[in-house]
Amino acid sequence: MNIRQTLTKTFTVGAVAAISMIGLTGTATAAGSDHLDRGQTLNAGESIERYTSTGHVWLVMQSDGNLVEYGGHFGACWATHTENSGGAYASYQNDGNFVVYTSSGRAVWASNTVGSVRATGSTVDMNDAGQLYIGTRRFNDGCR
């Protein structure tokens, strides 16, 4: 085997190992972003937020297990009411369902928005009025 073949083989093995490690790290988080894509997670203490012409809104996975949307001086606008449930993270799954899970993987709340991207959308987001959307489905009337 010449040096080129050895280097190619070494590089290939290293790349496969690196890709394998990426798969073991779990789902991507979107903390600090303005939305979640399918496959992303909010862990306790993480949030997505949006600055709008009418103020600041944010969705936070609280350490008490409750997923809550807040809007500026309006306070809480929407919540899953999963406080003290052991909820540890909220996952926007690849199937379109947004689920709050305990650290042991038990679901304590779900949006029931399963479907294809085309049928149900691809992000968890808040619009300028503070309305929370999970895919194409609106979950509140906004923060006003």
Residue 136: exposure state from Cβ atoms within 10 A (0-12, 13-18, ≥19): middle
Please report the domains of the chain, with CATH numbers, ordered by start residue: 28-138 (2.90.10.10)
Q: Are strands 55-61 and 67-71 parallel, antiparallel or unpaired?
A: antiparallel
Q: Which long-range contacts (CB under 8 A, 24 or more apart) does 50-57 make?
A: 50/125, 50/126, 50/127, 50/128, 52/127, 52/128, 52/129, 52/130, 53/128, 54/128, 54/129, 54/130, 54/144, 55/130, 55/143, 57/126, 57/130, 57/143
The confidence band for 31, taking pLDDT boundaries of 50, 70 and 90, is low
Task: Tell which wins on pLDDT, 120 or 91.
Answer: 91
Tokens encoding 117 = 């991207």
Average pLDDT over residues 101-109: 98
Mean pLDDT, residues 114-134: 93
Tell me the pTM.
0.77
Q: Tens of pLDDT along 49-80?
A: 999 877 899 999 999 999 999 998 779 999 99
